[in-house]
Structure 1
Amino acid sequence: MSVLVQMAMFPTDQSESKSEYVAQVIKVIRESGFSYQLTSMATIIETQKMSEALGVIQQCYEKLEELGCNRVYSTLTFDIRKNHENRLVRKIESIESKIGKVAK
């Protein structure tokens, strides 16, 4: 199974710039060992089980809590597909096979 989760998570009770906090969230994701892709608006993580995806999300929240954040905003979008894997890469390859390399 492949669980893709697109998430954004940041505190709303801290400074105007969120990059310091987002960097700590990305560090948690990186250290999880799961494949991920950072974009300018969200991060996409691929796990094999829903429980793994939810566990990483929980760890991200706990990191912000540890940093003294009292109010956290988060968006989550899931794409769950049985009998597939490596969709973080394969979905892009599917588009590129039809129209060529996409800008990055």
Structure 2
Amino acid sequence: MSVLVNFAIFPTDKGTSISPYVARVERAIRALGFQSQLGPMSTVVETETMAEALRVLQASYDALAEDCTRVYCTATFDIKQSPMGRMQAKVQSVESKI
């Protein structure tokens, strides 16, 4: 199975420059060892199970919870009974048609 989760998570109580907090989240994701892709407004992570995807979200929240009193998160999931590697394959499919 392949679970793609596209999500944004950030504190709303730390002003307009939140890149240090986004960096914290990215370090937490990378520490879990899942394939991820940082974008300008969100991050995509691919896992083999929904439980793992939810663990990524929990670790991301935990990275902020220590000193952020308000955290915003939005997430979308694409869950498919197929092999891993869809994160790159979906992009390559579109690129090959351009």
Question: Alpha-carbon deviation of 1:97?
Answer: 2.0
Q: Deviations over 1:6-61 (max 9, x none)?
A: 01000011122110101000111111110011110100000000000000100110
Gaps of 5+ in 2: none
Q: What one-letter code is carried by the residue in structure 2 that aligns with 1:22?
A: V
SS in 2 for 1:84: coil
Runs of 4+ off more than 4 Å: none
The higher radius of gyration belongs to 1
Partners of 2:95 and 2:20 in 1: how far apart? 34
Q: TM-score, normalised to structure 2's length?
A: 0.95
Residue 59 of structure 2 corresponds to residue 59 of structure 1: yes
Aligned CA-pair RMSD: 0.9
The answer for the alignment partner of 2:33 in structure 1 is: 33
Residue 98 of structure 1 and its aligned partner are, at CA, apart by: 1.6
Counterpart of 1:61, as a letter, is Y
Distance 1:36 1:11 in 2: 21
Residue 97 of structure 1: aligned partner: 96
- Which letter maps to 1:18? I
2:37 counterpart SS class:
strand
Residue-pair matches, total:
98
Aligned residue number for residue 78 of structure 1: 77
Unaligned ranges ≥5, structure 1: 100-104
CA displacement at 1:84 relative to structure 2: 2.8
